[in-house]
Amino acid sequence: MSEVRGEVAIVGVGHTEQGEFPGVSPETLSVRAVRAALDDAGIDRSAVDGLITCKSIQGLNADVTVGPLLGISPPYSQTLDYGTCNFSLHLAVQAILSGLASTIVLCYGANARTVRFPFGAAPATLAGAAGLMHIAGPAAMALQRHKALYGTTDEQFGWIAVSEREWAARNPLAIFREPMTMDDYLAMPYMVEPLRRPDVTMLADGGVALVVTTAERAADFPHDPVYVLGIAEQSAIQGEQRPGYVMRPWLADVATRIWGTTGLKPSDIDALYIQNPTAVWVLQMLEAYGFCPEGEAGPWLAEGHTRPGGDLPLNTNGGQLSESYMWGWLHMVEAVRQLRGDAGERQVSGAEVAMYCSTQAWVKGGASILSTRT
Amino acid sequence: MTTTYDKPLPDVDDPDMGPFWAATRQGRLTAQRCADCTTLRFPATPVCGTCLSEDTGWVDVSGTGTIWSYAVYHRAFHPGFRGELPYVVAIVENTDGLHYTGRVFGPRSAVAVGAPVSVRFDAVTPQVSLPSWVVAG
């Protein structure tokens, strides 16, 4: 059984507006998010004894640059290059269980939109010279192979982006809220075939923060604590050296660990969150975690499970395709809101267990399961 | 007549990949071969991931294979590609089981996962010959 089950809880979430904020640094956006998270948790920054920052996609936002703006020098501080919030949460769980800290604030901040971060720049390699650039390139190759192996169609795959847009329409924070039907989706031109523009995230400026503490202290906070039931990771740091790397077969190893250590199974999950710089990540992780059989994500998606009213609500914030990029951090915020029952018109009725699955490109996978009950 | 090549170029002086680019200038496709355990590897690395030996040589490898997967760019993320849209990039698995990324030329209708391809070398600058792949029509 999981050693971490019920030992640590998320007691505060916060974020900035999402969009383009010229003149505001990633660190300042982090501070704004931290203020919101501390307000949500009902505590002053003097109550924080740990700070874990996540580097922005630009490599900024280190603890030693955020700390001075926050005006704190807590006993424990750390910076992760790995994004998506899962790895930061896991580090916070480790720090708390080891006694390094008891109440930790985690934050991400980026102004990648304002600075026009070159997400698609070509590396000075064989691949770059061949024109393989932007995450959409290898993601498109992964989808093309999935189509060849399993017969997945554009329409089946399109349900990821269309479903997320349906959820985003119910989320005031989401950047892309205008309706997009399947006909609208299929009428859009390819960007990197077989991916269309709505299948790929768009960078935004903003910040996100969480407050995490011990289960013992969690009861003293104003909101229902959202407990960590389990965490799992799997490195794949051989990365692009392994032939077939775009298919990420090691995702199944994260799944084995998270289900094995928690004793839970896919049918126990009331709301699912999957980090998705491209919709291909969703296709791959639905299969790897066993929400549908290998190769069958296409027909399964077309059955509508992930849409509003479906039996496995997925990325109810609109995901990174429709809500905002934020390197996946807003997925964790949304999972907390759903479990608290604070998700407004997109609230999943009776949601008690949520799961967040994410990856660092080709080199690492992580998953967390959260619940208001232990 | 001189023309300027305006697409991204590889670093032909990269300490690991330099020998690969030197070979492409001679029209040869190569991979590293561990001098101790004989495992082939590509892209190049300074250490063999199979046995951790640093003793490495280069050998010619097969210039034929199949498309393992591919993507068709309808948008140019680099201005040099604007005039060539849409263009096809593939990961090719050669008959030695090695994977190479490269442009694919030939009839678009023939491009498919599993389609047979053969290598060709395009001398785009005096220093750079790019291996690309041709699909039979």
Write the pLDDT tens digit of every residue in A92-111. Answer: 999 999 999 999 999 999 99
* Out of B20, B43, B103, closest to residue A130 by CB: B103
The pLDDT-based confidence of A120 (bands split at 50, 70, 90) is confident
Write the pLDDT tens digit of every residue in A326-355. Answer: 999 999 999 999 999 999 999 999 999 999
Mean pLDDT in residue range A198-206: 96
Write the pLDDT tens digit of every residue in A298-332. Answer: 999 999 999 999 999 999 999 999 999 999 999 99
Mean pLDDT in residue range A278-306: 98
The number of C-alpha atoms within 13 Å of A64 and in the hemisphere containing its C-beta is 1
Q: Quick one: DSSP state of residue A347?
A: P
- Calculate the dihedral angle through the C-alpha atoms of B73, A57, A205, A320, rounding to the nearest 10 degrees: 60
Q: Which fold has domain A8-116+202-218?
A: Peroxisomal Thiolase; Chain A, domain 1 (3.40.47)
In A121-204, alpha helices (H): 126-129, 136-150, 154-168, 182-187
Looking at residue A3, its pLDDT comes to 86
Residue A285 dihedral angles phi and psi, to the nearest 5°: -75, -30
* Out of A131, A140, A243, closest to residue B81 by CB: A131
Write the pLDDT tens digit of every residue in B43-59. Answer: 999 999 999 999 999 99
Looking at residue A1, its pLDDT comes to 54
The pLDDT-based confidence of B2 (bands split at 50, 70, 90) is low
- Asked whether the predicted pLDDT for residue A146 surpasses 50, the reply is yes
The answer, for B15 touching chain A at a CB cutoff of 8 Å, is: no
Nearest one of A98, A85, A67, A86 to A3, comparing CA atoms: A98
Looking at residue A243, its pLDDT comes to 87
What ipTM was assigned to the predicted interfaces of this complex?
0.96
Looking at residue B1, its pLDDT comes to 47
Q: What is the residue extent of each domain of chain B? A: 11-61, 62-137
The pLDDT-based confidence of A117 (bands split at 50, 70, 90) is confident
Mean pLDDT in residue range A289-295: 98
Mean pLDDT in residue range B17-31: 98
Write out the H or E segment, with its range, that includes residue A208.
Answer: strand A205-214
The pLDDT-based confidence of A57 (bands split at 50, 70, 90) is confident
Nearest one of A181, A214, A211, A212 to A198, comparing CA atoms: A181
Looking at residue B107, its pLDDT comes to 97
Write the pLDDT tens digit of every residue in B55-85. Answer: 999 999 999 999 999 999 999 999 999 999 9
Selected residue of A125, A135, A240 to mutate for chain B interface (largest B Cβ count, 10 A): A125
Looking at residue B87, its pLDDT comes to 98
The pLDDT-based confidence of A239 (bands split at 50, 70, 90) is confident
Mean pLDDT in residue range A368-372: 98
CATH number of B62-137: 2.40.50.840
Mean pLDDT of chain A: 96
The pLDDT-based confidence of A240 (bands split at 50, 70, 90) is confident
**Which residues in chain B touch residue A131, judged by CB atoms under 8 angstroms apart?**
7-8, 73, 78, 81, 87, 89, 103
Looking at residue B98, its pLDDT comes to 97
Chain A residue closest in CA terms to B17: A125
β-bridge partners, A41: none
